[in-house]
């Protein structure tokens, strides 16, 4: 089976490739010569995932899946949520986004948060969705050098390290994207 993962994010591609079994050939956007920015104009994480998967199917004809992920922080009423990648502006700077979160939480005792990933699969002209959630806390400082996005400030519940301090295998086994991808793989194998 060949399937496209509709992302330009090489970090996401690396995480997902580590979870996909070898009998499923994962194609990147580069592999199908898709070099344009895929629209993400919906107001929900779910909507963006569906929009990206549909875009590839409609414009390139491939079965595919796309994900969208958001960090939802209780004390910020669920922000940054669907705007996680561009929370501090259109430059999409991980550092700026983390700094904005840390500044916004400075005087707030509640640091509860969750990462939410929704994968939308467009396969055989049918749409399927898979959701992974990882609950945790926002740290007071950046910790760790691994990962990407908000990983240096997110510590999953039950762990004493941030995602950025964990190796990829551990992060995938407990993280939001790993949970959603494992549901996707189980579906594809059924």
* pLDDT tens digits, one per residue of 1-48: 899 999 888 888 888 988 999 999 999 999 999 999 899 999 999 999
CA angle 50, 170, 91 (to 5 degrees): 50
Measured from the Cβ of residue 111, the count of other Cβ atoms closer than 10 Å reads 16
Mean pLDDT along residues 163-175: 94
CATH of the domain at 134: 3.90.950.10
How many domains are contained in the chain?
Answer: 1
Secondary structure letter of residue 108 according to DSSP: -
Report pTM: 0.92
Could you give phi then psi for residue 107, rounded to 5 degrees? Answer: -100, 10
Is the sign of the CA dihedral 143, 150, 10, 123 positive or negative? Answer: positive
Averaged confidence pLDDT in the chain:
94
The string of DSSP codes covering 121-147 is: EEETTEEEEEEEEEEEEE-SS---SSS
| Segments forming the whole domain that contains residue 134 | 2-189
User: Residue for token digits 């986004």?
Assistant: 97
Percent of the chain surpassing pLDDT 90: 86
> Active-site residue 151, yes or no?
no
At 138 the pLDDT is 98
Measured from the Cβ of residue 122, the count of other Cβ atoms closer than 10 Å reads 24
* pLDDT tens digits, one per residue of 58-72: 999 999 999 999 999
Closest CA to 112 of 74, 153, 84, 59: 74
Catalytic residue, chosen from 68, 94, 151, 160, is: 68
Rounded Cα distance, 122 and 85, in Å: 23
109 pLDDT above the threshold of 90: yes
């Amino acid at each position: 089976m060949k399937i496209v993962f509709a992302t330009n994010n090489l970090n996401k591609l690396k995480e997902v490739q580590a979870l996909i079994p070898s009998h499923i050939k994962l194609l990147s956007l580069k592999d199908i010569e898709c070099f344009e920015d895929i629209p993400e104009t919906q107001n929900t994480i779910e909507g963006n995932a569906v929009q990206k998967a549909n875009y590839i199917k409609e414009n390139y004809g491939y079965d595919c899946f796309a994900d969208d992920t958001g960090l939802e922080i209780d004390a910020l009423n669920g922000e940054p949520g669907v705007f996680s990648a561009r929370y501090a502006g259109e430059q999409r700077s991980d550092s700026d986004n983390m700094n904005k979160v840390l500044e916004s939480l400075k005087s707030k005792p509640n640091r509860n948060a969750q990462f939410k990933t929704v994968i939308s699969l467009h396969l055989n002209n049918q749409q399927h969705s898979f959701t992974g959630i990882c609950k945790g806390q926002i740290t007071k400082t950046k910790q760790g050098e691994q990962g990407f996005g908000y990983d240096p400030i997110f510590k999953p519940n039950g762990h004493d390290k941030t995602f950025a301090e964990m190796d990829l295998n551990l992060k995938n086994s407990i993280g939001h994207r790993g949970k959603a991808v494992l549901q996707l793989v189980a579906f594809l194998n059924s």
